[in-house]
Chain A
Amino acid sequence: MIRVGDVLVSKGEGGVYGERELDGYRVWDPYRSKLAALYLVGTGIELPPDMKVLYLGAANGTTVSHVADYVEVVYAVEFAPRPMQDLLEVARRRKNVMPILADASCPEQYAPLVETVDLLYQDVAQPDQAAIALKNCVFLKQGGCLILMLKTRSVDIRKEPAEVFRDTLDILMSAGLTIVESTWLAPYHQDHAAIVCTK
C-alpha cells in the first residue's frame, strides 16, 4: 500500500468526493472508508495491480474509487438507485469500475457479468451479512481473500456487538474459510468489525 508519511493514499484522478491531495496522491480517509480504517488499525491485504475485485455494497463509490486506483478491475455491486447515480459517475471517469445495480444476496443477477476474482470485499447493511458473503464465494478463486466489513448493528440491534462478531466468525469458519485477521474498526467506525479470511 502507498503511504505518504503516515497517511494512506492512492494514485488516481482526484476530486471524487472532495478528498485532499498530498504530493499528487489522493488521501484515503479512514473515517469515510472502512477499508482505509482496516489498513490503519490492522494490516489488511496488499492490493496488487493485477488484482480483480468483487465489491458488494459499493454505495457512492468512495472506497471503490480508491480500490480502483490500486487494482486491475472492480466489479461494484450496489442495490439502491440513489447511490448508484454517484457510482455511475465514478465509473464514467475510471476505466476499471464496473457498476452493477443488483442485490448482493442474489448473485444470479450479476453472475453473467463477473469473472473469477482474487478479492471479495463486502460492506452491506443487511442482517445476514455472513450468508451473503458465503453465497458470493463462488466468484472467489481458490486461495482468494474475503474482506467482510461487519456492521454489527445491522445484524441485530438487540444483540451485543461482540456477540454478533463471535457468531459471524463461527459461521465463516464452519463454512471452511480460514480467518487471517479480525479486528474492530474503532476509533474510526463504531460497532464495525473487519474480518479478513481466505478460501
Chain B
Amino acid sequence: MQSCWFGDINAGKCTPFTGDTAAYARRVREFRASMDDFIPLDWQQAVACGICRDRAEYLALLQKVCIAGSEQAVREQYAAKDVELLQMVRTLDEMDTVTNVLSERVADWYQIRHPSFSRKYRRTPAHVLVKSISERNRERGGGGGALGKVAAEIMCLADARTALAKEVSARACEVMPNTSALIGGLVAARLLSHAGGLKKLSRLPASGIQVLGARTALFAHIRTHAPAPKHGIIFQHRRVHNAPRDVRGKVARVLAGKLAIAARLDFYRGCAVQSFLDDAQVRIDRAGTTNGEGKGQ
C-alpha cells in the first residue's frame, strides 16, 4: 500500500482521504513513509481518486495543504517554551552592548563640552557619568540639549534592561529549572542562546558546554595548538570566576559535567530534580576546595 497526501493506494485502487485542508495537513505531518523501494506519487492517481479534475486543480489543492501544514509546524515550533527565551536573552545581551557603546560615546562628548574635566583619579565609570549628566538634564527641565537627552535615553534603556534581565531570569528558571539552579537563570539562558535551543543544549557533550561561548579561543586551539580554553560562558558563574586560578579549570569541568546532565533533565523531564541538584552542588563545591589531591571523586 502506498499512502500519499490525498489518499491511500492499494493494488491500483485508491481510497481518497476526506477532510478540510487542515486535516490533510495534519495527515501529511503524521506520515512516516518507508524510503525502501520508494516510488514517488503520481498526480494522476488524484484524478482517479476523484480529488481533483486536472493538473491545475491538483496543484491548487496541494498548495493549500502545503501552506497549512507549514503554518501549523511553524506555530508549533514557536510555541516551544525555549524559543521566546532565546530572543529575550539575545536582546538583553545586545542591549548591554548598545548601552556600553553609547555611554562611552556620551562620556567622550561630555569631556569635549567641559575641557577641564577628566575622569582620571575619580574612578567614574562611563555609566555613572551618564547618570549624572541625565540627572542634571532633568534638574534643568530638559535644558541639557541633545547630550542631556541622549544620556536620559541611555538611562531609560538601562531601566528596560534591568526589567528584561529579571524576566529572562524568571523565564529561565521555568524553562530550565535544573540548569538554572546550578548556575543561575541569566547564565543558563545565555548557554541556551549559544547552543541555539534547549534540545541542542541537551545534546551537547559536557566538554562542549564547558567551552560554549569561547569560540575564538577554541578555534585558535584547534588551528594553532594554542592552549585549550578552560571555560566559556560558565566563567560568568561565581563558582568559576571566584575559584582560585589553579583549580578554575577543574571547577569549570565539573560544573560543565553536571550542567550537561541538568540540561538533559530539563529537556526530557522539564522539572527540577532535587536529589540530583543536591549531589551536584556538593560535588561542584568540593571541586573548588580540594586543591590537587582527591582528583576525580
Using a CB–CB distance below 8 Å, which chain A residues touch chain B?
A: 73, 81, 84-85, 87-88, 91-92, 95-101, 107-109, 111-117, 135, 138-139, 158
Contact = CB atoms under 8 A, between A and B. Distances in A.
Interface string B42-73: 11000000000000000110110111011101
Given A108-B33, A138-B40, A113 B74 contact: no
Interface of B: 3-5, 28, 31-35, 38, 40-43, 59-60, 62-63, 65-67, 69-71, 73-74, 77-78, 222-223
Given A81-B73, A100-B66, A112-B3, A139 B40 contact: yes
B31 A91 contact: no
A112 B3 CA distance: 7
B62 A91 contact: no
25 contacts: A81-B73, A84-B70, A91-B63, A92-B67, A95-B59, A95-B60, A98-B59, A99-B67, A99-B70, A101-B69, A101-B70, A107-B35, A108-B35, A109-B32, A111-B33, A111-B35, A111-B38, A113-B28, A114-B40, A114-B41, A115-B40, A115-B43, A116-B42, A135-B35, A138-B35
B32 A108 contact: yes
A138 B38 CA distance: 7
Nearest to A73: B59
Given A108-B32, A115-B43, 20 more contacts: A73-B59, A85-B74, A87-B70, A88-B70, A88-B71, A91-B63, A91-B67, A92-B67, A95-B63, A98-B59, A99-B66, A101-B73, A108-B33, A111-B40, A112-B3, A113-B28, A114-B40, A115-B42, A135-B35, A138-B38
Q: Which 7 A-B pairs have the closest CB atoms?
A: A111-B33, A101-B73, A98-B66, A101-B70, A81-B74, A116-B40, A112-B4
Given A100-B66, A112-B3, A115-B41, A158 B59 contact: no
A73 B43 CA distance: 13
A101 B74 CA distance: 8
Nearest to B44: A115
Q: Is the interface of A mostly helix, strand, loop or mixed?
A: mixed
A43 B60 CA distance: 33
Contacts of A84: 70, 73-74
B33 A112 contact: yes
Most buried by B among A98, A116, A138: A98
A114 B40 CA distance: 7
A112 B78 contact: no
Contacts of B28: 112-113
Contacts of A112: 3-5, 28, 31, 33, 41
Nearest to B46: A115
Contacts of B59: 73, 95-96, 98
